[in-house]
Structure 1
Amino acid sequence: MSDDAENRKETTPKVRKTTAEWMQQLTAEQFYVTRQSGTERPFTGPYWDNNLIGRYDCVCCNAPLFMSDTKFDAGCGWPSFFEAVHPNAIRELQDQSHGMIRTEIRCQQCDAHLGHVFPDGPAPTGLRYCINGHAMNFVHGGQQPAEAGNDDEKSA
């Protein structure tokens, strides 16, 4: 059964929508950030100062991204995390915009721009995922998603 769960996860289809469909689903700020690789101004977006327990999901496709126990105050004005919910939740791309070389973070499921990752975070990873609040929804009390292959163990 664990092989079946793993195969389902690997073959989950990507979320693909037209620009018009994204515009209808998202607010103007969410569309700007996630579909046009925008950045909200620091200390203005949702969740930068959220201290509740839960999970942060992609605003576009509801894929789980980060857990609140990996969130920390980096003082930068954006929600910051030191680890994604699982390695396959996000993908990294080189970003050479604005005269800098950075690592962009996108949702693996729908390709939404989330923010950037930097190597100046806390232990245990040393990473700082600096995420636009408008790219996420907060699920109060949301649980860590089950990993592929562990479905039987979680339900036992």
Structure 2
Amino acid sequence: MTDIAPTLRSPSGFDLTPPAEAERERLEADLSPEEKRVLLAHGTEAPFCGTLLGEKRAGVFCCRECGLPLFRTGTKFESGTGWPSFTEPVDATHVRTVTDRSHGMTRTETRCARCDSHQGHVFPDGPPPTGLRYCINSVALAFVPEGERLPDPLNRGDGAA
């Protein structure tokens, strides 16, 4: 008998099972040097330089590494900080938080719940209804316009919009 790990599903139906080592290596090989610096080494892109800062089309912002949907355009707002900002994730289980004590301060880092890639930080100074500001690096996201198929680089059948 073979032991097979159960599939972890989010309430919205997405497979949250972490990628196997070979899958992770394949996903990481597809990243640019800047994407690797932010997603894998927990870096930050320069403010007001991200390609998704001004994105206003209806759609979904997915993890650049594994394709998990993280934020919707309807939750995006102009924070004035220089990074795309959102009030809440597509599904609370899609974004994991970790205490970040780097740079001489304490912040709450956000990571993709499936591949554990660094996305940005969340702060308690956002607008209603949540009062939260998910401040996310553009390079950590892939934008998918409404009606288009979501990325599914792990071939898990999660690509329906």
The two structures, once aligned, show a CA RMSD in angstroms of 2.1
Q: Which residue does the alignment assign to 1:37?
A: 42
Measured against aligned partners, the alpha-carbon deviations of 1:37-91 in whole angstroms (never above 9, x if no partner) come to 0000001112111111100000000000000000000001100000000110110
Q: Is the 8 A contact 1:104 1:115 kept in 2?
A: yes
Corresponding position: 1:111 with 2:116 = yes
Question: Percent sequence identity over matched residues?
Answer: 44
Which residues of structure 1 form unaligned runs of 5+? Answer: 1-6, 146-156
Summarize the Cα distance change of 1:12–1:20 in structure 2 as closer, same or farther, 3 Å threshold.
closer
Query: How far apart, in 1, do the equivalents of 2:97 and 2:147 lie?
Result: 25
Higher RCO, 1 vs 2 (CA within 8 Å, ≥6 residues apart): 1
TM-score (norm 1): 0.81
Give the alignment of 1:1-156 within 5 angstroms.
9=9, 12-17=16-21, 21-142=26-147
CA pair 82-106 structure 1, distance change in 2 beyond 3 A: same
Equivalent-residue separation in structure 1 for 2:20 and 2:39 (angstroms): 13
Normalized per residue, the structure richer in helix is 1
Change (3 A) 1:88 1:20: closer
Unaligned runs of 5+ in 2: 1-6, 151-161
Give the TM-score taking structure 2 as reference length: 0.79
Rounded to whole Å, the distance in 1 between the matches of 2:144 and 2:25 is: 26
